[in-house]
Structure 1
Amino acid sequence: MQINLVEFYIEKRDSFIRYEAQLAKKIKRIAFFRLLAFSGIAFSLIYLTRFGVFPGVLAALSSLAFFLFLVKRHIRFEKLKKRCGILSGLAKDELKALNHDFSHFNNGKEFIDPGHDFSYDLDLFGEGSLFQFINRTSTLSGGKKLAALLISPPIDKEEIEKRQESIKELSGYPEWRMQFLASGNMFDETERQHDAVAAWPDKEFRFNRYGLIGYLRWVIPAITLASLLPGLLGMTWLFFALCVFVQLSFVYFYRHRIKEYFRFFGEKSLLIEKYVSLLSEIENRGFSSEWLKEMQQAISKPSSACKTIKELGSLVKEFEFGRHLLAGLFLNSIFLWDVRCIYNLREWHLKNRKKLINWLEVIENIDAVISLANFSNNNPGFVYPQVKEGRFIFESEQLGHPLLNPQKRVCSDFKVGGFPEVIIVTGANMAGKSTFLRTVGVNMVLSRLGAPVCATKYVFTPIGLYTNMRTTDSLLKDESYFFAELKRLSFALERLRGGEKLFVILDEILKGTNSADKLNGSKELVKQLAKLKAVTLIATHDLKLAEIGNELPAVKNKCFEIHIKDDELTFDYRLTEGVTKSMNATFLMKKMGII
């Protein structure tokens, strides 16, 4: 399957590169003929008019029509060329990803939050993060939605299973996913543009004499055009001049409203065109899974979102065109252009603003789920979890960390059955304890997202996740490392005592105090956790803490062993039963010449 994926992306990359080269040649030819057509206009007006005004003007108009036709073709081919470049780039990116290089993708560092329940400890964001590994979003809101899902994955069984089905379905549409992402990447929106569009539904636009302008926007231009007749007949231009003055007066009167509307709607035609293209991709695709059908119906019923936003795009383009100095002067003198445009925009806004936010949410949801579908497609060896309700269960076979290179990844079986249970994992330095803790945590996040996990079998009951692996001190809050850790532990216990069910992952608890205090405090914490509705996974170097398993039935011991042979240290990174029998700190210090 992996070889087929590589072949698929190579074929796509090469075909789009070839098509892009063909389009570049066509664009050069069109540029040549545009020059000829433009020369034909000048030639007709300067030379052919010597043989008569009519044939000269007719030839000039014919050359102009041909010139405009070529301009339109040029714009179309330029867009196609840009799209081909984007599509070949997407294929190249996926080929790098299949080679386990995902450094070129956005890492989502803006979403890093050291205070979050688990995202900071599990490296969900930042360089080399799960977000960077998965993220393929083509819109700002899609990236934010994917981050929101990672931060707060669904916990309801039905929702998880619905998402599983949608991810499975989309994973089977690699070409459609590429086309969707290409549409999204045709225009790079800025935060300012994104936020401005997101604010449209809540914006109230004022418009003085709105009802009257509804009639005058047709009546005044009609009178202005009629006033041309006396001038053309050689009688007087006074009526036309008066009409132009009236139109420009209206534009001046509404100048503040025009500026206000342009701040919200202006310079966004390309962004709107992007939304139209994305909505069209969604509306025209036949989906079978329930969640995807729900998304599709939200933008197609009772009316087409694509068609409605396309209307907005046309209105915004008209408004933008009138902002050019010469064009604006002409259009505002004859057609009351800017006033007409803001009237039409307000009419569209009043009718559709409440629907707009729902349509944009569909785009961001599909954009985010496409990333998960791509993750599924690129990792065919991963398995979709079975979701169970009732008594807690966590059962996995060959569980591994999805970010590790498959050639180097070492997987282990791991099983938990019911509350309460405390698993203490011991092992030497670098033996794999912390990586295993993150392996469990990251796969729990993926499983709740409805995505496949890095395992050959995975059965789980969705519950909350809480970690304490990388506590940081804070000079601004005047908090020591030890106090910050106690706060996190206290918060976890508070939630558990309140009846919440949690999977708690702790790495080297109470690191900020002396050995005796650490051991006593750790034992008391384990005793508390063993009474509550929690599954707790604790990694430690302290073998004395593992002895508590002799006292409490809820405590189980597992370990990662190392092997020293012929003065060489080896790791197998496999989880085994019991307490570790070997440590390596002194050995490593001697090898490095420290002692």
Structure 2
Amino acid sequence: MTPPSPRSVDELAREYDRRRARFGAEADALNARSLRIGNLRGVSFVVGGGGLAYAAFGAGGVPAVALGIAGLVAFFALVVRHGRVIEAEEHKRRWARVNEHGHARCTDGWRGLPITGEDLRPDRHPYADDLDLFGRGSLFQRISVAHTRYGQRTLADWLLQRAPRDELAERQDAVRNLAPQLEFRQALEAEGLAIVERRGKQPGVIDIGPGPDPEPLLRWAESPTRLRDRKLLIAAAWLLPPCTVAGLVAAFGFGQPMWWWGFPLVVQIALLASVGKITQEAFVAVSYTEGAFLRYGAMLALVEKLETTSAWVTSRQQRLLSEGDAPSGGSRSTKLLPSESMRLFRSRVGWFDLRHNGMVHPFVNALLLWDLHCTLALERWKAHSGRNARSWFAVLGEMEAISSLAGLAHDEPSFCLPELLDESETGARIEAVGLGHPLLHASRRVTNDLEALPTGHALLVTGSNMSGKSTFLRSVGTACVLAFAGGPVCARRMALSPCHVGTSIRVSDSLAGGVSHFYAEVEKLKAVVDATDQGVPVLFLLDEILHGTNSRERQIGARWVLGELLRRGAFGIVTTHDMELCRLTPELMDRVRQAHFRESVQNEQMTFDYKLREGPVHAGNALRLMQLVGLDVPLD
């Protein structure tokens, strides 16, 4: 039974720390047991080898043989046991690491987490860079518990594009259902972590990398079988090896001619040569990812067994169950679960491991047609399960993505699931109470209210440098991103309609591309204006419009952009520290509400409370900031 979620971020952090310590202690105990078993392995091998050697070269007789056999039996039993203990220790270490990461998310240490999503950053997206969705210090780094490539890609896609309203409602229900299920979410994360872990350069150090790419295997799994329907080949594969072995026994045991085994052996070698390219392609496709695929099976089993009331999760479980397959050679009425199918795949790929033994494999392969039988076994798996594997991976990716959003809801008890408005009933709008930025720790986060902002209206926010204008814009934008992904938002209450988010907050020039700062901003503004032609209301978030040009042209251009967006039915927020932009035309004044941030100066120290107030600001702070850093500029 899942324990109730703690009520505060500090309590959550302490709970994660307790769990990390508990799993770490269990891992240390297993490590001590592993060392003891390792020592016993050595002793049993010496006893076994010594006993047999004494029997062979001394006068030990039957007692020495018995001692030697007992020692070797104990050795091999301890080898199996040792492997299980090592695996259990690694499993506990992963659980400890998962809780260490959870603690980091609750204590503002998440910027050191290894998965940043930098490789998922898109080019020229309407808001990804402005809202810090990917990279170091990003929203993705803060919330992602996805470790498979499918999971990370799915979460990134959810952050980059709005889902339909019905789908968002189902995701919200799934988040609400999964948020308190800490054991399931951490088990899924721990199994995913096993896929991407690798030994670091320093002893005892574990690095987290991108993990194996399943695409080569999936392409092989979806490709047609090439040997399975060749009945004569299959018959030869089963008949020739027994004939060759029988010929060897007859020739060396009973003095029969050498061709009794030589002829079928030559035929087998020729057969291997004829299918060598096919068996090699199969080996290359499956050998690299086999170890990781074992973990995918464990992740699938967790999803299959999850007890849930969420329709969204249930539909994913039904997709898995409906795509199960009959085991090869078994009754078609008995389906294998995807996790069982993956275990079957693991065992069949394990047969191919013999190819890594360059001394033994050539002889066994020639004598038993080893590669051919391994490939036939894999093709049987491919015929029954290969066409479904990609869908299984997609389900796991969605479960990792929804688990990331549920984890955010669990770790931030003050966040809410926003109300998703029906535009046809209420018209497009956005409003929020207690809105803050999710990447700021609760101890430093300042929240503000956003009064209802309908289509065709805007909020003009003025304020001095460093007063909080850009952070407020990003708070609104990030809340929309999370809401349109189906997740919780950093607010006590929020309601919004489906809309397209367009931003111009962070503008970068490009020396290589020959693009100036001003031209880059103009391109971003044009993209926001053009988005209004797509038939979906546009929420614009614009920071310091056209600040790269002179004051006169800036004011003309900024007023035109704002007016054009409102004329096209867009709605949003514009920030500026240029108080001249507050002098709008009467037509715009009817559609624009003004608010401001301000600073306080006491004892030559400038402070900010980051609270949004009604009306325009009346003074700036640029000259005062210059004085504070040591530049002796006059204030008048």
Q: Aligned partners of 1:193 and 1:157: how far apart in 2?
A: 32
Q: Are positions 1:592 and 2:629 aligned together?
A: yes
Q: Give the superposition deviation at 1:497.
A: 3.6
| Cα pair distance change 1:292/1:412, threshold 3 Å | same
Aligned to 1:327: 360
Aligned to 1:456: 492
Q: Give the superposition deviation at 1:252.
A: 3.1
Higher mean alpha-carbon deviation, 514-523 vs 226-235, is at: 226-235
- Of 286, 310, 316, which residue of structure 1 is paired with 2:343? 310
Q: Are positions 1:135 and 2:135 aligned together?
A: no
Contact 2:55 2:62 in 1 (8 A): no
- Of 197, 203, 211, which residue of structure 1 is paired with 2:217? 197
Contact 2:228 2:234 in 1 (8 A): no
Higher mean alpha-carbon deviation, 53-62 vs 248-257, is at: 53-62
Aligned to 2:236: 216
Deviations 1:457-491 (A, max 9, x none): 11111211010112222334433322222222223
Higher mean alpha-carbon deviation, 491-500 vs 415-424, is at: 491-500
Q: Are positions 1:513 and 2:549 aligned together?
A: yes
Q: Are positions 1:423 and 2:479 aligned together?
A: no
Q: Aligned partners of 2:280 and 2:121: how far apart in 1?
A: 38
**SS of the residue 2:306 aligns to:** coil
Deviations 1:428-484 (A, max 9, x none): 111111110001000111111121111111111121101011222233443332222
- Of 514, 539, 562, which residue of structure 2 is paired with 1:503? 539
| Cα pair distance change 1:230/1:321, threshold 3 Å | same
Q: Are positions 1:266 and 2:287 aligned together?
A: yes
Contact 2:435 2:490 in 1 (8 A): yes
Q: Aligned partners of 2:551 and 2:341: how far apart in 1?
A: 68
Aligned to 2:74: 66
**SS of the residue 1:47 aligns to:** helix
Aligned to 1:125: 134
Q: Are positions 1:15 and 2:3 aligned together?
A: no
Aligned to 2:46: 39
Aligned to 2:124: 115
| Cα pair distance change 1:131/1:313, threshold 3 Å | same
Higher mean alpha-carbon deviation, 220-229 vs 145-154, is at: 220-229
Q: What letter corresponds to residue 284 of structure 1 in structure 2?
A: K
Q: Aligned partners of 2:378 and 2:210: how far apart in 1?
A: 22
RMSD: 2.4
Q: What letter corresponds to residue 340 of structure 1 in structure 2?
A: H
- Of 414, 418, 431, which residue of structure 2 is paired with 1:385? 418
Q: Aligned partners of 1:13 and 1:566: how far apart in 2?
A: 46
Q: Are positions 1:556 and 2:604 aligned together?
A: no
Q: Give the superposition deviation at 1:499.
A: 2.9
**SS of the residue 1:415 aligns to:** strand
Aligned to 2:154: 145
Q: Are positions 1:545 and 2:545 aligned together?
A: no
TM-score normalized with structure 1 length? 0.94
- Of 390, 398, 413, which residue of structure 2 is paired with 1:365? 398
Q: What letter corresponds to residue 435 of structure 1 in structure 2?
A: T
Q: Aligned partners of 2:375 and 2:293: how far apart in 1?
A: 17
- Of 5, 12, 20, which residue of structure 2 is paired with 1:5? 12
Contact 1:267 1:320 in 2 (8 A): no
Higher mean alpha-carbon deviation, 115-124 vs 125-134, is at: 125-134
Q: Aligned partners of 2:498 and 2:239: how far apart in 1?
A: 65
Q: Aligned partners of 1:495 and 1:190: how far apart in 2?
A: 34
Q: What letter corresponds to residue 280 of structure 2 in structure 1?
A: K
Q: Are positions 1:473 and 2:509 aligned together?
A: yes
Q: Are positions 1:234 and 2:270 aligned together?
A: no
Deviations 1:366-403 (A, max 9, x none): 11222211111111111111111021231211111111
Q: Aligned partners of 2:162 and 2:394: how far apart in 1?
A: 17
Higher mean alpha-carbon deviation, 31-40 vs 352-361, is at: 31-40
Q: Are positions 1:293 and 2:308 aligned together?
A: no
**SS of the residue 1:349 aligns to:** helix
Q: Aligned partners of 1:325 and 1:419: how far apart in 2?
A: 71
Q: Are positions 1:26 and 2:33 aligned together?
A: yes
Q: Aligned partners of 1:242 and 1:542: how far apart in 2?
A: 93
Q: Aligned partners of 1:209 and 1:122: how far apart in 2?
A: 55
Aligned to 2:373: 340
| Cα pair distance change 1:70/1:581, threshold 3 Å | same
Q: Are positions 1:492 and 2:513 aligned together?
A: no
Q: What letter corresponds to residue 386 of structure 1 in structure 2?
A: E
Q: What letter corresponds to residue 591 of structure 1 in structure 2?
A: L
Q: What letter corresponds to residue 138 of structure 1 in structure 2?
A: H
Contact 1:468 1:489 in 2 (8 A): yes
Q: Aligned partners of 2:247 and 2:51: how far apart in 1?
A: 31
Aligned to 1:78: 86
Higher mean alpha-carbon deviation, 19-28 vs 115-124, is at: 19-28
Q: Give the superposition deviation at 1:180.
A: 1.5
Q: Aligned partners of 2:126 and 2:622: how far apart in 1?
A: 31
| Cα pair distance change 1:331/1:286, threshold 3 Å | farther
Contact 1:276 1:306 in 2 (8 A): yes
Q: Aligned partners of 2:452 and 2:372: how far apart in 1?
A: 68
Q: Are positions 1:253 and 2:290 aligned together?
A: no
Higher mean alpha-carbon deviation, 435-444 vs 219-228, is at: 219-228
Q: Give the superposition deviation at 1:56.
A: 6.8
Contact 1:419 1:532 in 2 (8 A): no
Q: Are positions 1:88 and 2:125 aligned together?
A: no
Q: What letter corresponds to residue 446 of structure 1 in structure 2?
A: L
Higher mean alpha-carbon deviation, 276-285 vs 91-100, is at: 91-100
Contact 2:228 2:379 in 1 (8 A): no
Aligned to 2:383: 350
Q: What letter corresponds to residue 290 of structure 2 in structure 1?
A: S
Q: Aligned partners of 2:522 and 2:371: how far apart in 1?
A: 63
| Cα pair distance change 1:77/1:578, threshold 3 Å | same
**SS of the residue 1:548 aligns to:** coil
Q: Which runs of 5+ in 2 are unaligned?
A: 1-6, 197-208, 325-336
Q: Aligned partners of 2:229 and 2:102: how far apart in 1?
A: 56
| Cα pair distance change 1:274/1:415, threshold 3 Å | same
Q: Aligned partners of 2:210 and 2:628: how far apart in 1?
A: 53
Contact 1:426 1:560 in 2 (8 A): yes
- Of 517, 524, 528, which residue of structure 1 is paired with 2:564? 528
Q: Give the superposition deviation at 1:118.
A: 0.3
Q: How many residues align?
A: 594
Q: What letter corresponds to residue 26 of structure 1 in structure 2?
A: R
Q: Give the superposition deviation at 1:296.
A: 1.3
Higher mean alpha-carbon deviation, 351-360 vs 560-569, is at: 560-569
Q: What letter corresponds to residue 181 of structure 1 in structure 2?
A: E
**SS of the residue 1:176 aligns to:** helix
Q: Aligned partners of 1:562 and 1:530: how far apart in 2?
A: 30
Q: Give the superposition deviation at 1:568.
A: 3.6
Q: Aligned partners of 1:190 and 1:408: how far apart in 2?
A: 33
| Cα pair distance change 1:199/1:208, threshold 3 Å | closer
Q: Aligned partners of 2:312 and 2:438: how far apart in 1?
A: 26
Q: Aligned partners of 2:239 and 2:488: how far apart in 1?
A: 63
| Cα pair distance change 1:20/1:237, threshold 3 Å | farther
Contact 2:212 2:292 in 1 (8 A): no
**SS of the residue 1:551 aligns to:** helix
Higher mean alpha-carbon deviation, 380-389 vs 86-95, is at: 86-95
Deviations 1:337-357 (A, max 9, x none): 111111222232233222111
Question: Percent identity, aligned pairs only?
Answer: 27
Q: Aligned partners of 1:555 and 1:327: how far apart in 2?
A: 80
Aligned to 2:4: none
- Of 424, 436, 439, which residue of structure 1 is paired with 2:472? 436
Q: Give the superposition deviation at 1:76.
A: 1.0
Contact 1:511 1:518 in 2 (8 A): yes
**SS of the residue 1:533 aligns to:** coil
Higher mean alpha-carbon deviation, 474-483 vs 407-416, is at: 474-483
